[in-house]
């Protein structure tokens, strides 16, 4: 080492003089080398200097772990200077996680028992800052001894050391509990501070301690009284308030003791009122005490007059110029709003003022409080304010604000139209930040408000024409235009301006949405479906729509492609069904506020659409599948038969369960058909979360010696129900108990009407083709009693009360077979299954 080691001040100066980071690093590295060498040499007199330099370097962020052992040596040294720096180093370098940490326990122990007061102070300080659990256990007795020493300097530190020990090792509470009451009689403010803190800590940790310390409430009230009324000592006062630190601490303890306890609360009522009225609030110290008083009043079982006083104090705080005080007031009012709603309502105008703050912390608090204050009487004005806020608020608050407005609108909307308007406005302003189910809610709402269809669709059209970037809005608008497109073209609705819209313009807009890169895949799906629907609503030529749809038949997005292909099929092969399939949707049952599960949130906008649309889609795909499967030559589908309700039939009460039966009661299965070894049974499951839905599984099993082939099972229900037939597992039941065919039927019964169902079978068995048709009439009773139908050959239709029905959900077309004779033998009727 050529250069002599620097003094601390010189080192600091040199580091500060360094012009670049690299230069600084160089200086520091050089000095650290010196320090390391010095430590190695064991130069006792200079050690504290070296460590001080090391600590400075450590603060700048450089590694200093090689100084840890030096701290130990310094702590063990008899010199006060060494100890001072040593303990400081220990607090900075030797936290709990270091291995060398425990080694200081012995030194601390020695210092605590034998050291002078300043030394004891150092030891207690280090123990309180970085004492680990083991250290605390070891040193508990020493600290306890120090609690009883006469010197206040050591005692006040010992008390706070006890607080730290209890936080680390709660079992030590037993040791430190007894001296507390005595400590409260001290006059020294430092000891009192510590004692109150210690009692607070004990009470928070153990309910037994809490009960024990309720007896000190009078003592605490006395302390407060002395401070507030008589004790004006210059030593402790801050801006005219006597010892605000102690007052706040005492109030905090009173709060904990008075919570849920009538007697204690009563004992402190007067004092709290006095503190609240007498404290000088011109400076922050007084406001701090007042704030703590308010918190205490609110938390304990205080008299109602006192509570009103507390809320008024908060109201005054709200008008204060000091932002900190306003922040504190908003936070407290938020806590109060549940319990003292009307009192807080009085300050609503001021709260709304705070919304206009530029300070983000304040406006966030104001937003939360405003949302909590919304009720049915102030909904319109509050929503106005909140929407104004939404336009200018910082981005991180937008989501909360938007969802808050929507929630409030849902709860308190005075009229449907206002509700729709509000949601629309929120979507326009903050569309990207709303929750995913907002779209679903809005479509459901619009769907339900029939008188507002024209109004909604016009407004949405205008909004969409103006801006297609806000996805939720675009989705809703696309849906509406699809559903109610014809209302756009009709004469002007009185309350909005006349809207001269041509069909071409609407189509163009939807195409624009489809093509825009701003649109999400989901939005595109909405737009495509809307286009399809318009093909039936609009009178004009469908060529444009057909073109668009066929283009998307080769889209890369699977969802869009599937839709486009299906719609294409609708245009080409099933044009006659198009208008029926694309009819107006019935109102979806409102699911209520959905749980926010991350994965499912995205699917919410889909669910109402899917629920209702799916009855139309699977049949289409089913049909296509069946067509392929059964390889039918005939391409011309017959017009699907109409559903005809059977006159005078007794009703099946399957879905009409008596009220005393819980909806979860398992419904017994039914064997509905048994002939020559072929058995068909139905099992029923009602999923608990959707009581209107019934899942029926039809199982066809074969115990005969011959295979059953070309098996087709169909069912039909009255118009008030919705039925989906899912794809069967196969069409052949092998002989001798081979794997059965299963097919699931989903029956939706929104009106909770009794179910009636007609079933039709067609199959080949023993070389003959068979068709069976029967109805579920009082299914539960009739079938169990008479499970086997006498079915001879297919000619024998007249003997039973069977009608032939072929299923197609919700297609109001005629049934050709209803009153016609059964088809001739030996043929599988070609037309029937594939409709």
Partner 1 sequence: MMQFMLLFSRQGKLRLQKWYVPLSDKEKKKITRELVQTVLARKPKMCSFLEWRDLKIVYKRYASLYFCCAIEDQDNELITLEIIHRYVELLDKYFGSVCELDIIFNFEKAYFILDEFLLGGEVQETSKKNVLKAIEQADLLQEPRHEYFNVPVY
Query: Is there binding between residue 456 and partner 1 (CB under 8 A)?
Result: no
- Binding piece for partner 1, criterion CB under 8 A, among 135-143, 150-158, 527-535, 553-561: 150-158
Q: In angstroms, rounded to a whole number, what is the distance separating the alpha carbons of residues 647 and 664?
A: 32
Query: Is there binding between residue 157 and partner 1 (CB under 8 A)?
Result: yes
Tokens of residue 490, six digits: 């009709």
| DSSP at 227 | I
- Binding piece for partner 1, criterion CB under 8 A, among 22-30, 129-137, 645-653, 777-785: 129-137
Question: Residues 480, 460: contact at Cβ < 8 Å?
Answer: yes
Q: Shortest distance, CB of residue 727 to partner 1, whole angstroms?
A: 53
Provide the phi-psi class of 514: left if phi over 0, else alpha when psi is between -120 and 50, else beta. alpha
Query: Is there binding between residue 161 and partner 1 (CB under 8 A)?
Result: yes
Residue with smaller CB distance to partner 1, 96 or 391 = 96
**Of the candidates 485, 480, 476, the residue with the CA atom closest to the CA atom of residue 428:** 476
Query: Is there binding between residue 100 and partner 1 (CB under 8 A)?
Result: no
**Of the candidates 486, 483, 484, 479, the residue with the CA atom closest to the CA atom of residue 526:** 479
Pairing relationship of beta strands 693-702 and 741-748 according to DSSP bridges: antiparallel
Give the number of other Cβ atoms within 10 Å of residue 640's Cβ: 22
Task: Please state the three-class secondary structure of 297-308 as a single string.
Answer: HHHCCCCHHHHH
Pick one of 62, 153, 493, 574: the residue that binds partner 1 (CB under 8 A): 153
Give the number of other Cβ atoms within 10 Å of residue 17's Cβ: 10
Q: In angstroms, rounded to a whole number, what is the distance separating the alpha carbons of residues 670 and 693?
A: 18
Q: In angstroms, rounded to a whole number, what is the distance separating the alpha carbons of residues 462 and 471?
A: 15
Query: Is there binding between residue 292 and partner 1 (CB under 8 A)?
Result: yes
Query: Is there binding between residue 121 and partner 1 (CB under 8 A)?
Result: yes
Greatest CA separation found in the chain? Answer: 121
Pick one of 26, 37, 118, 339: the residue that binds partner 1 (CB under 8 A): 118
- Binding piece for partner 1, criterion CB under 8 A, among 179-187, 245-253, 657-665, 716-724: 245-253
Pick one of 32, 38, 54, 85: the residue that binds partner 1 (CB under 8 A): 85
Q: Shortest distance, CB of residue 191 to partner 1, whole angstroms?
A: 9
Query: Is there binding between residue 356 and partner 1 (CB under 8 A)?
Result: no
Query: Is there binding between residue 700 and partner 1 (CB under 8 A)?
Result: no
Within residues 385-404, the interface with partner 1 by CB under 8 A covers: none
Neighbouring-strand partners of residue 702: 678
Dump the DSSP string for 669-723.
Answer: PEEEEEETTEEEEEEEE--TT-TTEEEEEEEEEE-SSS-EEEEEEEEE--TTSEE
- Binding piece for partner 1, criterion CB under 8 A, among 84-92, 175-183, 545-553, 824-832: 84-92
Query: Is there binding between residue 9 and partner 1 (CB under 8 A)?
Result: yes
Q: Shortest distance, CB of residue 479 to partner 1, whole angstroms?
A: 40
Q: In angstroms, rounded to a whole number, what is the distance separating the alpha carbons of residues 585 and 576?
A: 18
Within residues 22-41, the interface with partner 1 by CB under 8 A covers: none
Residues 6 or more apart whose CB falls under 8 angstroms from that of 10 comprise none
The crossing angle, in degrees rounded to 10, of helices 416-430 and 395-412 is: 170
Please provide the distance, in angstroms rounded to a whole number, between the alpha carbons at the two ends of the chain. 99
- Binding piece for partner 1, criterion CB under 8 A, among 92-100, 479-487, 776-784, 809-817: 92-100
Residue with smaller CB distance to partner 1, 95 or 541 = 95
Q: In angstroms, rounded to a whole number, what is the distance separating the alpha carbons of residues 340 and 728?
A: 62
Angle (nearest 5°) at CA 372 between 370 and 376: 95
Question: Residues 374, 408: contact at Cβ < 8 Å?
Answer: yes
Pick one of 62, 66, 245, 606: the residue that binds partner 1 (CB under 8 A): 245
Task: Give the x/- contact pattern for partner 1 in 566-605, rule: CB under 8 A.
Answer: ----------------------------------------
E strands, 547-687, in order: 670-675, 678-685
Q: In angstroms, rounded to a whole number, what is the distance separating the alpha carbons of residues 373 and 680?
A: 61
Query: Is there binding between residue 47 and partner 1 (CB under 8 A)?
Result: no
Query: Is there binding between residue 360 and partner 1 (CB under 8 A)?
Result: yes
Query: Is there binding between residue 84 and partner 1 (CB under 8 A)?
Result: yes
Residue with smaller CB distance to partner 1, 129 or 742 = 129
Give me Rg for the CA atoms of the chain.
41
Q: The sheet that has 722-725: what strands, in order across it?
A: 670-675, 678-685, 693-702, 741-748, 722-725
Within residues 645-684, the interface with partner 1 by CB under 8 A covers: none
Task: Give the x/- contact pattern for partner 1 in 717-756, rule: CB under 8 A.
Answer: ----------------------------------------
- Binding piece for partner 1, criterion CB under 8 A, among 90-98, 342-350, 517-525, 818-826: 90-98
Query: Is there binding between residue 288 and partner 1 (CB under 8 A)?
Result: yes
Residue with smaller CB distance to partner 1, 295 or 452 = 295
Query: Binders of partner 1: how many residues, by CB under 8 A?
Result: 72
SS3 793: coil
Q: In angstroms, rounded to a whole number, what is the distance separating the alpha carbons of residues 473 and 477?
A: 6
The backbone torsions φ and ψ at residue 760, rounded to the nearest 5 degrees and listed phi first, read -135, 135
Tokens of residue 134, six digits: 């083991």
Query: Is there binding between residue 60 and partner 1 (CB under 8 A)?
Result: yes
Pick one of 287, 441, 616, 702: the residue that binds partner 1 (CB under 8 A): 287
Query: Is there binding between residue 81 and partner 1 (CB under 8 A)?
Result: yes
Query: Is there binding between residue 7 and partner 1 (CB under 8 A)?
Result: yes
Pick one of 6, 28, 52, 473: the residue that binds partner 1 (CB under 8 A): 52
Query: Is there binding between residue 249 and partner 1 (CB under 8 A)?
Result: yes
- Binding piece for partner 1, criterion CB under 8 A, among 159-167, 274-282, 475-483, 560-568: 159-167
Task: Give the x/- contact pattern for partner 1 in 311-350, rule: CB under 8 A.
Answer: ------------xxxxxx----------------------
Pick one of 34, 47, 48, 544: the residue that binds partner 1 (CB under 8 A): 48
Query: Is there binding between residue 246 and partner 1 (CB under 8 A)?
Result: yes
Query: Is there binding between residue 176 and partner 1 (CB under 8 A)?
Result: no
Task: Give the x/- contact pattern for partner 1 in 609-648, rule: CB under 8 A.
Answer: ----------------------------------------
Q: Shortest distance, CB of residue 87 to partner 1, whole angstroms?
A: 9
Pick one of 18, 25, 36, 56: the residue that binds partner 1 (CB under 8 A): 56
Pick one of 38, 54, 184, 248: the residue that binds partner 1 (CB under 8 A): 248
Question: Residues 19, 53: contact at Cβ < 8 Å?
Answer: no
Query: Is there binding between residue 193 and partner 1 (CB under 8 A)?
Result: yes
Residue with tokens 């936070």: 331
Dump the DSSP string for 383-448.
Answer: HHHHHHHHHHS-HHHHHHHHHHHHHHHHHH-SSHHHHHHHHHHHHHHHGGGS-THHHHHHHHHHHH
Residues 6 or more apart whose CB falls under 8 angstroms from that of 272 comprise 254, 293, 296, 297, 302, 306
Q: Shortest distance, CB of residue 508 to partner 1, whole angstroms?
A: 47
Within residues 255-284, the interface with partner 1 by CB under 8 A covers: 284
Pick one of 42, 61, 648, 824: the residue that binds partner 1 (CB under 8 A): 61
The backbone torsions φ and ψ at residue 829, rounded to the nearest 5 degrees and listed phi first, read -60, 125
Residue with smaller CB distance to partner 1, 161 or 337 = 161
């Amino acid at each position: 080492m050529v250069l002599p080691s620097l003094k601390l001040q010189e080192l600091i100066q040199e580091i500060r003089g360094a012009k670049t980071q690299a230069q600084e690093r160089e200086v520091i590295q050089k000095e650290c080398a010196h320090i390391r060498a010095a430590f190695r040499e064991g130069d006792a007199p200079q050690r504290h200097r070296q460590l001080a330099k090391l600590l400075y370097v450590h603060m700048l962020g450089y590694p200093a772990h090689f100084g840890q052992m030096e701290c130990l040596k310094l702590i063990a040294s008899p010199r006060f200077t060494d100890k001072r720096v040593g303990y400081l180093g220990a607090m900075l370098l030797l936290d709990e996680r270091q291995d060398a940490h425990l080694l200081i326990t012995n030194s601390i122990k020695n210092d605590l028992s034998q050291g002078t007061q300043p030394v004891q102070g150092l030891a207690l300080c280090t123990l309180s800052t970085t004492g680990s659990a083991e250290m605390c256990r070891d040193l508990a007795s020493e600290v306890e001894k120090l609690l009883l020493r006469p010197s206040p300097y050591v005692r006040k530190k010992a008390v706070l050391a006890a607080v730290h020990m209890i936080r680390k090792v709660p079992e030590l509470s037993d040791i430190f509990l007894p001296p507390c009451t005595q400590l409260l009689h001290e006059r020294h403010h430092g000891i009192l501070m510590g004692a109150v803190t210690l009692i607070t800590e004990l009470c928070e940790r153990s309910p037994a301690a809490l009960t024990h310390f309720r007896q000190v409430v009078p003592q605490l009230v006395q302390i407060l009284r002395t401070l507030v009324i008589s004790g004006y000592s210059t030593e402790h006062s801050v801006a005219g308030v006597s010892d605000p630190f102690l007052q706040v601490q005492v109030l905090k303890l009173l709060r904990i003791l008075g919570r849920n306890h009538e007697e204690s609360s009563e004992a402190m009522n007067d004092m709290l009122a006095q503190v609240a009225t007498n404290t000088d609030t011109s400076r922050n110290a007084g406001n701090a005490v007042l704030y703590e008083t308010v918190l205490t009043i609110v938390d304990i079982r205080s008299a109602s007059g006192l509570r009103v006083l507390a809320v008024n104090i908060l109201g005054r705080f709200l008008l204060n110029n000091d932002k900190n005080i306003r922040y504190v007031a908003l936070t407290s009012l938020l806590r109060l709003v549940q319990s003292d709603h009307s009192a807080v309502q009085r300050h609503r105008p001021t709260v709304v003022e705070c919304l206009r703050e530029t300070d983000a912390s304040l406006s966030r608090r104001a937003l939360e409080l405003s949302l909590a204050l919304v009720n049915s009487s102030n909904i319109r004005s509050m929503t106005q304010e909140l929407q104004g806020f939404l336009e200018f608020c910082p981005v991180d608050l937008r989501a909360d604000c938007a969802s808050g407005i929507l929630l409030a609108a849902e709860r308190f909307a005075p009229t449907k139209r206002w509700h729709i308007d509000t949601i629309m406005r929120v979507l326009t302003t903050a569309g990207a930040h709303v929750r995913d189910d907002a779209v679903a809610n809005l479509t459901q709402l619009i769907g339900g408000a029939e008188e507002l269809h024209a109004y909604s669709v016009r407004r949405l059209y205008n909004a969409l024409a103006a801006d297609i970037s806000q996805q939720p809005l675009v989705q809703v608008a696309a849906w509406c235009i699809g559903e109610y497109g014809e209302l756009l073209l009709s004469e002007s609705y009185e309350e909005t301006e006349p809207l001269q819209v041509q069909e071409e313009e609407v189509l163009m807009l939807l195409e624009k949405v489809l093509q825009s890169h701003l649109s999400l895949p989901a939005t595109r799906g909405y737009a495509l479906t809307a286009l399809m629907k318009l093909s039936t609503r609009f009178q004009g030529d469908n060529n444009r729509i057909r073109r668009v749809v066929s283009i998307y038949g080769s889209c890369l997005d699977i969802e869009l492609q599937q839709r486009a292909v299906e719609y294409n099929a609708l245009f080409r092969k099933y044009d006659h069904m198009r208008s029926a399939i694309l009819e107006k949707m019935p109102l979806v049952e409102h699911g209520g506020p959905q749980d926010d599960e991350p994965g499912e949130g995205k699917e919410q906008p889909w669910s109402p659409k899917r629920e209702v649309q799916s009855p139309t889609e699977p049949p289409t795909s089913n049909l296509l599948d069946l067509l392929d499967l059964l390889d039918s030559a005939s391409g011309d589908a017959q017009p699907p038969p109409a559903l005809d309700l059977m006159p005078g039939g007794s009703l099946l009460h399957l879905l009409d369960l008596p009220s005393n039966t819980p909806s979860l009661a398992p419904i017994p299965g039914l064997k509905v058909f048994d002939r020559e070894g072929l058995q068909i049974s139905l099992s029923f499951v009602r999923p608990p979360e959707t009581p209107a839905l019934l899942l029926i599984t039809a199982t066809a099993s074969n115990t005969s010696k011959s295979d059953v082939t070309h098996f087709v099972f169909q069912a039909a229900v009255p118009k008030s129900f919705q039925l989906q037939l899912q794809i069967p597992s196969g069409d052949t039941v092998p002989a001798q108990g081979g794997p059965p065919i299963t097919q699931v039927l989903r029956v939706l019964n929104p009106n909770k009407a009794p179910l009636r169902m007609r079933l039709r079978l067609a199959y080949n068995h023993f070389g003959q083709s068979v068709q069976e048709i029967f109805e579920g009439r009082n299914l539960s009773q009739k079938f169990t009693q008479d499970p086997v139908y006498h079915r001879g050959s297919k000619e024998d239709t007249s003997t039973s009360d069977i009608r032939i029905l072929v299923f197609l959900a919700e297609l109001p077309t005629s049934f050709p077979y209803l009153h016609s004779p059964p088809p001739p033998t030996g043929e599988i009727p070609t037309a029937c299954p594939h409709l």
